[in-house]
Structure 1
């Protein structure tokens, strides 16, 4: 093999996982071009998440807004399938990593995906307003289009909370960020217009929930819609870890989804 062929082979191997996220060499760890030793003790975790995902550095206000969204989504109790599954797995003799992965792996379209879907919905409203439509008219058009395919509008209503307690503080922080010029507020306006549209004529309101409020934040901060789901998973992983650890300390083994003295209803045999 010629020297040129060897060099080409080395380059092909080096390019296999080419990345701008990190540069790692003996004695060197740089994250997005920043030496890790300069980040340790000076960068907040939300600011580091921003830098790793978007490749830029947030302002202090943007980092605080991202942190608020991450804090808000940390946990919602064992009623959530992801948490219940992690707790069950923790009693089965697996490690914390397996228990966490078991829970995280069920964060899909129905459980965990509403934030991404709501960002997509809000993008549609903002796109129409950028073409000259009023927020109200844009919201009406987008809601009508979505309802051609589903009655469910992601980011609105909650199976447990009449009013999600996380909604108001998150939207208040968005208002503060808009006033400070940290974000534009276009997606917040869109979300409120959608909320007004879906509640038009209703005696019992359907308010924005945690998925809607965090979708506003992620969209305002410029995160692509798929990252809204990834950021939710990152946030909820903290709660999943806490539950898996708590359950692992209980001393119980092979804990199932219902108490052992409760037998599932038998539906009988066909035929």
Structure 2
């Protein structure tokens, strides 16, 4: 092998991917020529193909799409949306506006679906080892709190009490998909059992399964690894971010902060300042 061939192989092997085969005049995703995909598959199907490596069935794609639709927006009071709208008044481009919001979707806000999926998968593992559902939920919650603290991701909402209107509809769709054999329904049972146990631990006061908890059920039912729950939610919420950013650009405004300028933050003086 000549030196030039060796160097060429080094370059070609620098990145390895089974996602796309691209060369002049050719684009294929996971073995599917782009011209065969355009006009024939939906955007949710395309997302699935790209991340999972295969084309979903129509029923899988419908359930997946429902989860994506449910998470698109939650209004300007959501920190990520508020930050996006503020960014839009600062003279940056729409891509910067969207990046501002997506970068805020972490463990507490928007990214909790990953943690909730980890909880569900952990409970499922306990059940695989022979623990019954109720005990697995209690043990899973104990293990969760020992690592993450008392707040359980995917449950509870500061606005929607005791019901997050998105969750019951998503769970209804999961149950329908389970009846058709599209999914097992196992993670729907786990999610609802966690919700019930948390209510019991609160002295009988019901607690909402929120959007993170419900979409985590769907992503687990569809076999997506827990970290993908966060990435998929980011894709979903990006739709709302785009809409709010574009709307704010149309409304105008300049250097808008988190509160009107006639209102100032509370200054808390230290003893040395008095």
Superposition TM-score tier, normalisation by shorter sequence? over 0.9
Q: 1:72 aligns with which of 70, 74, 93?
A: 70
Tell me, in whole angstroms, the C-alpha distance in 1 between the residues paired with 2:196 and 2:237.
Answer: 29
Tell me, in whole angstroms, the C-alpha distance in 2 between the residues paired with 1:207 and 1:83.
Answer: 22
Tell me, in whole angstroms, the C-alpha distance in 1 between the residues paired with 2:131 and 2:225.
Answer: 23
Tell me, in whole angstroms, the C-alpha distance in 2 between the residues paired with 1:116 and 1:261.
Answer: 40
TM-score, normalised relative to structure 1: 0.96
The residue aligned with 1:7 is: 5
Structure 2, gaps ≥5 residues long:
none
The residue aligned with 2:204 is: 203
By how many angstroms is 1:207 displaced? 2.4
SS at match of 2:224: coil
Structure 1, gaps ≥5 residues long:
none
SS at match of 1:223: coil
The residue aligned with 2:108 is: 110
The residue aligned with 2:125 is: 127
The residue aligned with 1:98 is: 96
Tell me, in whole angstroms, the C-alpha distance in 2 between the residues paired with 1:254 and 1:148.
Answer: 43
Bigger shift: residues 234-243 or 106-115: 106-115
Q: Determine if the alignment matches structure 1 residue 228 to structure 2 residue 229.
A: yes
Tell me, in whole angstroms, the C-alpha distance in 2 between the residues paired with 1:179 and 1:86.
Answer: 40
Tell me, in whole angstroms, the C-alpha distance in 2 between the residues paired with 1:266 and 1:140.
Answer: 44
By how many angstroms is 1:134 displaced? 1.4
SS at match of 1:24: strand
RMSD of aligned Cα (Å): 1.1
Tell me, in whole angstroms, the C-alpha distance in 2 between the residues paired with 1:164 and 1:102.
Answer: 26
Tell me, in whole angstroms, the C-alpha distance in 1 between the residues paired with 2:265 and 2:188.
Answer: 45
In the TM superposition, structure 1's runs of 4+ consecutive aligned residues that sit over 4 Å from their partners are: none
The residue aligned with 1:153 is: 152
By how many angstroms is 1:203 displaced? 3.4
* 1:158-185 alpha-carbon deviations (Å, 9 max, x no partner): 1110110001110000001111111111
Tell me, in whole angstroms, the C-alpha distance in 2 between the residues paired with 1:107 and 1:145.
Answer: 24
Tell me, in whole angstroms, the C-alpha distance in 2 between the residues paired with 1:114 and 1:42.
Answer: 33
Tell me, in whole angstroms, the C-alpha distance in 2 between the residues paired with 1:119 and 1:41.
Answer: 33
SS at match of 1:200: helix
Aligned residues: 269
By how many angstroms is 1:270 displaced? 4.5
Q: Determine if the alignment matches structure 1 residue 164 to structure 2 residue 164.
A: yes
Tell me, in whole angstroms, the C-alpha distance in 2 between the residues paired with 1:239 and 1:145.
Answer: 34
* 1:174-209 alpha-carbon deviations (Å, 9 max, x no partner): 001111111111111111111121111623211211
SS at match of 1:268: coil
